[in-house]
Amino acid sequence: MAGSLFRNKSIDQLLADAGVAGEETGGLKRTLGSFALVALGIGAIIGAGLFVRTAAAIAERAGPSVTIAFMVAGVGCAFAGLCYAEFASIIPIAGSAYTYSYVTMGEFVAWIIGWDLVLEYAVGAATVAIAWSEYFNKVLEYFNLSVPWIWRHSPWEHMDNSAVHGLMNVPAVFILLILSMLLIRGTQESAWVNNLIVITKVAIVLVVIVVGWGFMNPANHTPFIPAATTYTTHEGVTHAYGGLMGILGAAGVVFFAFIGFDAVSTAAQEAKNPKRDMPIGILGSLVICTILYVLFSYVLSGVATVDDFRTAGKEASVTFAITKYMTGYGWLAKFVTVAILAGFSSVILVMLLGQSRVFYSMSRDGLVPKVFSDTHPKYQTPWKSNMLFFVFTAGFAAFIPGDIVGEMTSIGTLFAFILVCAGVWVMRVKRPELPRAFRVAWLPVVSTLGIVVCGAMIYGLGWTNWLRLGVWLAIGLVFYFAYGRNHSKLPKPLDRTDDVRMMYTVTGLFLGGVAGFFLRPSFPQIGKMPFSDVISGGANLSGPDAATMAPYAETSLKYLLVGCLIGGIVGFFLAFAQTRRKGSPPT
C-alpha cells in the first residue's frame, strides 16, 4: 500500500467536490474547432514576457542569437503542451496541473506542483508589476513628471556610475494593490475588453516588426552568435554569455514569454475533435507566436545595440529603441508605451486570479490553511487569500530586481512542465484504462524530449537559479510536513514508510546544510562570509569589491550545497535501514 505521501484523490471525489455528478460528467459542450483553439492560444501566449524579458536576454545572455533562444523555448513548450493536453483530458472538468496531479500522481507531487505554481503566478505577477513600473514612469515623462529613481528600484539596484541604491519599487506595489482590491470585488474582464487587449498586443508586435525592419543596423547582428564568455550584471550576478550556454540561458529567460500557452491544453474537453484539433491548436499557436517572437527579437536586437540594453535601454526597452533609433516615430513610442501598460495590467490581474484559484483548491483539500478559501460575505471572493498574496507579491516587486524575479518565474514553470511530461508517461503505464479525450502520439519520445528540452533550459539558467528553486522547494517541503500532510482531508493509510523516509531525507538535507555552512572556509581579511552573501552566491554584493568577494561567496555556497547532498544521502539510507528493520511504522 502506498504511503500517505502518494495517496490519491479519486476522480469521483473530485467531481463531487466540484458539484458534478453522474450523467453530468460529460459536462463541457464541444464547440471549439482548430481555428478557435489557435486563436485562443495566440491570445494567451502573447503577453508581457515578450516586452519584459527580450531585452534582458539580449543584454545578459545571447545578444542577437536570442532569436535562436526563442526557437528552443518554443520547441520545449510544444512538447510540454502536448503532454499537458493529455493530462488535462484525463480529468473531465476544468482545472490546473495541481488538480490533475492530485488525482493521477498523488498528494506529494500535487503539493510540489501547487507550491511551484506560486513561482509561475505570484512571482510572475511581481515580475510584470516591476515592468509596469518602468513603462508607467515613461508615461509620466510625457507630462514632465517622474517617480524619483530610488522609489522605483529595489535596494539591490544602483544607478549607473553611481553609488546611489534604490529603496523600494513604489509603482509596482501600487498596481498590485489596486488589482488585488479589484479581485476582492470580483471584477473580471468582459470578453470584448479581453479581445481588444489581445488585438492591441498583436498589433504592437506587428507594427514594431514592420516599421523597425527599415531601421536595423547590420553591425548589431555581427557576430550573430557571440563568442562564449561571461557577463556580470549590476547586481553582481555572473551569467554565461554567447555560445551554446548563452543561448540555453536566454531560452530559459525568454520562456517567460510563452507562459499562458497551457490555456489551450486545458480546453481538450471543449474541442470538437480533440484528436485532430488539440495538436493543431497547440502547435499552430506556438508556431505562429514563435515566428512573431523571432522576428520581433531579430528587429529589436538589430535596431539597438547590446550596450543599449545593458544601460539606458534596460528599462522600457521597446520604447527606448523606438525613441532613440526610429526617427520620426515618436508617436509610435507613446502608443506602444500606453498600450503595453494596459496589457501589463491585464496580465497581472490574470496571474493574481490564477494564484488565488490554485491556493483556494489547496485550502479546500486541507493542504494549506483555511484562510486561503475563506470567501468575502458580500463579494464571494477569497479576499483574505488575495490580500495575503498582495503582501507576498509586493515584497518581491518592491525589494528584488526584475531580472531575478523573472528568472525565478521561468525556472519554476519549467520545473512544473517537467513534472507534467513525466506524469503523463507514468499515467499511461499505471492507468492505461482511463478515458482520454486526447492521446499524445509517440508518448515516450515526446515526453522525454519535453523533459530534456525544459531541463536544458533550466541548466542554461545557471546554478544561482537552481539554488533559488531548491530553496523554494525546501521551504515548501517544510510547510507540507509541518501542516499540509497532517491536515489533508484524504484518509491516512496505515503504511507510513514513505513519510519516514522523506522526513529523514529532509532532516538530513537541513542538518547537512547547517554543517556545511559552519564548516565554510575563512578568507584573508574578511574571515567567513555572512549567511546573506553565501545563500545568494554573492548575487547581492555590490560596490568596487563585489568582483573580488563573489568567488569567496560561491566557494562558501558550494560547502553548504555539498553538506546538503551528503546529509540527504545519509538521511535516506538511515531511514531505509530503519524501515527495513522495524517494518512500516504505525500512523
- Highest mean predicted confidence (pLDDT) among 232-246, 314-328, 528-542: 314-328
Question: What's the length of the chain?
Answer: 587
**Residue 451 CA neighbour count, 13 Å, CB half:** 13
User: In this predicted model, what pLDDT tens digit does every residue of 60-82 receive, in sequence order?
Assistant: 999 999 999 999 998 998 898 88
Lowest mean pLDDT, pick from 58-72, 163-177, 468-482: 468-482
pLDDT digits (tens, 9 = 90+) for 524-547: 777 787 776 776 666 555 556 666
Q: How many CB atoms lie within 10 A of CB 151?
A: 14
Peptide bond into 444 cis (omega under 30): no
Q: Which amino acid appears at position 387 of this protein? A: M
Domains and CATH numbers, the chain: 4-493 (1.20.1740.10)
pLDDT at 1 over 50: no
Asked whether 51 and 278 are in contact (CB, 8 A), the reply is: no
pLDDT of residue 25: 41
Judged by average pLDDT, the poorest of 15-24, 323-332, 511-520, 531-540 is 15-24
The β-bridge partners of 152 are: 169
For residues 513 and 557, give the distance between their C-alpha atoms in angstroms, rounded to a whole number: 10
The arithmetic mean of pLDDT across residues 497-514, rounded, is 77
Extract the C-alpha cell encoding 437. Answer: 479525450
Q: Is the pLDDT of residue 203 over 80?
A: yes
Does residue 105 have a pLDDT over 80? no
Please report the pLDDT score of residue 102 as a whole number: 82
- Lowest mean pLDDT across 154-168, 311-325, 435-449: 154-168
Q: What is the mean pLDDT of residues 129-143?
A: 90
Indicate the angle between helix axes 66-90 and 443-460, nearest 10 degrees.
130
Q: Is the pLDDT of residue 585 over 50?
A: no
Cell numbers standing for residue 471: 530553496
pLDDT of 301 strictly over 70: yes
Does 463 or 512 have the greater pLDDT score? 512
Q: Which residue has the cell 555590490?
A: 542
Which residue, 352, 274, 228, 255, is CA-closest to 89? 274
pTM beyond 0.75: yes
Low-confidence winner among 392-401, 417-426, 496-505 (lowest mean pLDDT) = 496-505
Give residue 549's pLDDT band: very low, low, confident or very high (50, 70, 90). confident
pLDDT value for 537? 63
The pLDDT of residue 229 is above 80: yes
Comparing 368 with 32, which gets the higher pLDDT? 368
